[in-house]
């Protein structure tokens, strides 16, 4: 058959790569992936502000690349996702270095040296690619970048340095723009937090990878608080999916009251409790997705489930089945495992809600004095019930009717106002179901009438006519929804 050779337009390709939606955190993490694949023990990230000449660099002490390897690494999609990769290779598409870098910078320079070869340097200048219409990979670097490289790699040891210049978001920022400078270094702080989350297993594992951002060590973030004695661990499961197994382990974090303020802040992470509940998808120990319910039907973010976090380890060979994208920031579970995820997720969510809703009762039992709680909140027959604890000492004193009953009643009212169990009700009450509390559910009609009669008598004693007292009672919740003497004319 006859055919046409249609090569992608360089300018269009560059524009597409710039628009993949990388955040600076995800882009830097992609570069760290390459460092780990190269066997690096130390990775240093640098953010240096200099107005439009600002730069970002990632430097590692891995085994480096020779000239041929570097050209391959700099070629867009030189290795497809179908290629077999080493055990330490965290890439998939052969796009990470280029797509991540092009999303952030107009000039990408990579300098690398192996233990036996001289340093080689190559540069992509996207403005040149667009103007020439050709993929011209430049040898060496401009003088400003060369000076940066000499600062970053003064000893000439094996390893690789990646430098971003002509940063898209700061290309027009003047040197003295303090707001732009503040934003630039705020991004550095976000990168530091992100790397601690994504590479936590590498930072604390046997390899003991060290990462720094502007000289500050990156601290691993453990979303599961595995060292805390009060964490509940559901049994881990190995679920076969196609030709591979997926490991799932659910963790129920302790109630926030069991955490110190630093522990509480650390456990919430930079995104906060609500955004960190759910599944954590790992691929070769690298975090792909942090806190997501993976689109499972009926699962949504809810404060009741803040303590539920589930580790899900996906083998790299199953990338395509999980639709892991080029940014390594999304994952879609295959159909064959969804029922297992729903089952395990339901158990974890239920346990998490139970920990929150029973905290008061558990705390009271531990201190041997459950009666100190003024309110009791529970669910019976599908309905949420909120009751005043009649064993509370102040309630008992008011009910006893002692000489200071009026003073006690005022104190009780004030106490009840200040201890309304909002958190417990929020946890118990599901806005998607018809579980609204129903007043006097199951109560005897005489009990309702007796209470209404006491209120009616109080109205009359305070100067209302009997007719006015009944009319007011008839519009007072919950009697406005009930029948009784107050509806008689």
% of the chain beyond a pLDDT of 70: 84
Q: Compare 441 and 257 and report the one with higher pLDDT.
A: 257
Please indicate, yes or no, whether the overall pTM of this predicted structure exceeds 0.75: no
Interval 264-275: pLDDT, tens? 999 998 888 989
Interval 37-82: pLDDT, tens? 999 999 999 999 999 999 999 999 999 999 999 999 999 865 544 4
Other C-beta atoms within 10 Å of 64: how many? Answer: 25
Q: Can you tell me the mean pLDDT for 198-204?
A: 94
pLDDT at residue number 427: 58
* 3 state SS of 439: coil
Mean pLDDT of the chain: 83
Topology adopted by domain 11-217: Heat Shock Protein 90 (3.30.565)
Q: CA torsion angle for 319, 320, 325, 328 (degrees, to 10)?
A: 0
28: Cβ contacts below 8 Å, ≥ 6 apart: 45, 56, 58, 100, 191, 194, 195
Helix (H) or strand (E) holding 108: strand 105-113
Interval 224-254: pLDDT, tens? 999 999 999 998 999 888 778 899 999 999 9
Q: Compare 420 and 314 and report the one with higher pLDDT.
A: 314
φ, ψ of residue 5 to 5 degrees: the values are -90, 115
Sequence spans of domains, the chain: 11-217, 232-343, 358-438, 443-489
pLDDT at residue number 489: 64
Cα gap 49→170, rounded to integer Å = 10
Interval 442-456: pLDDT, tens? 667 777 787 778 778
Q: CA torsion angle for 167, 170, 176, 178 (degrees, to 10)?
A: -120
Q: Can you tell me the mean pLDDT for 15-40?
A: 88
pLDDT at residue number 433: 46
Q: Compare 413 and 166 and report the one with higher pLDDT.
A: 166
**44 token code pair:** 């240093």
Cα gap 59→49, rounded to integer Å = 17
**C-beta separation of 116 from 34 below 8 A:** no
Cα gap 483→489, rounded to integer Å = 13
Q: Where is average pLDDT lowest: 265-269, 387-391, 423-427?
A: 423-427
């Amino acid at each position: 058959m006859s055919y046409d050779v249609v090569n992608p337009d360089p300018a269009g390709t560059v524009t597409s790569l710039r628009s993949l939606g990388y955040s600076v955190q995800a882009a830097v993490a992609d570069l760290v992936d390459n460092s780990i694949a190269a066997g690096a023990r130390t990775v240093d990230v640098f953010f240096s502000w200099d107005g439009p000449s600002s730069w970002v660099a990632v430097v590692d002490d891995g085994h480096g690349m020779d000239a041929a390897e570097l050209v391959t690494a700099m070629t867009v999609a030189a290795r497809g996702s179908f290629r077999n990769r080493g055990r330490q290779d965290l890439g998939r598409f052969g796009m990470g270095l280029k797509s991540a870098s092009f999303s952030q910078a107009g000039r990408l320079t990579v300098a690398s040296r192996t233990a036996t070869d001289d340093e080689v340097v190559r540069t992509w200048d996207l403005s040149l690619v667009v103007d020439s219409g050709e993929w011209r990979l430049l040898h060496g670097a401009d003088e400003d970048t060369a000076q940066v490289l000499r600062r970053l790699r003064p000893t000439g040891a094996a390893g690789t340095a990646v430098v971003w210049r002509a940063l898209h978001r700061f290309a027009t920022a003047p040197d003295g723009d303090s707001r732009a400078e503040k934003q630039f270094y705020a991004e550095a702080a976000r990168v530091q937090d992100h790397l601690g989350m994504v590479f936590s297993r590498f930072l604390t594992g046997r390899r003991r990878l060290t990462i720094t951002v502007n000289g500050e060590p990156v601290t691993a973030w453990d979303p599961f608080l595995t060292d805390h004695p009060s964490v509940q661990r559901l049994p881990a499961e190995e679920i076969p999916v196609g030709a591979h197994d997926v490991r799932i382990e659910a963790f129920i974090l302790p109630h926030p009251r069991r955490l110190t303020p630093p522990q509480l802040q650390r456990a919430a992470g930079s995104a906060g409790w609500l955004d960190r509940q759910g599944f954590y998808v790992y691929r070769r120990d690298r975090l792909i997705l942090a806190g997501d319910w993976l689109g499972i039907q009926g699962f949504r973010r809810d404060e009741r489930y803040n303590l539920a976090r589930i580790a899900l380890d996906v083998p790299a060979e199953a990338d395509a089945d999980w639709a892991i994208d080029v940014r390594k920031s999304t994952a879609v579970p295959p159909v064959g495992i969804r029922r297992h995820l729903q089952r395990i997720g339901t158990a974890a969510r239920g346990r998490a809600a139970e920990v929150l809703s029973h905290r008061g009762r558990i705390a009271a039992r531990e201190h041997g004095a459950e009666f100190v709680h003024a309110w009791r909140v529970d669910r019976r027959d599908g309905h949420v019930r909120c009751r005043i604890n009649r064993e509370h000492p102040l309630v008992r004193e008011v009910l006893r009717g002692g000489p200071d009953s009026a003073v006690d009643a005022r104190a009780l009212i004030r106490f009840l106002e200040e201890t309304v169990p909002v958190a417990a009700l929020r946890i118990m009450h599901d806005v998607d179901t018809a579980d609204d509390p129903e007043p006097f559910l199951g109560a005897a009609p005489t009990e309702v009438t007796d209470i209404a009669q006491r209120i009616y008598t109080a109205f009359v004693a305070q100067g209302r006519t009997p007719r006015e007292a009944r009319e007011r009672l008839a519009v007072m919740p919950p009697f406005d929804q009930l029948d009784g003497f107050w509806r008689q004319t």
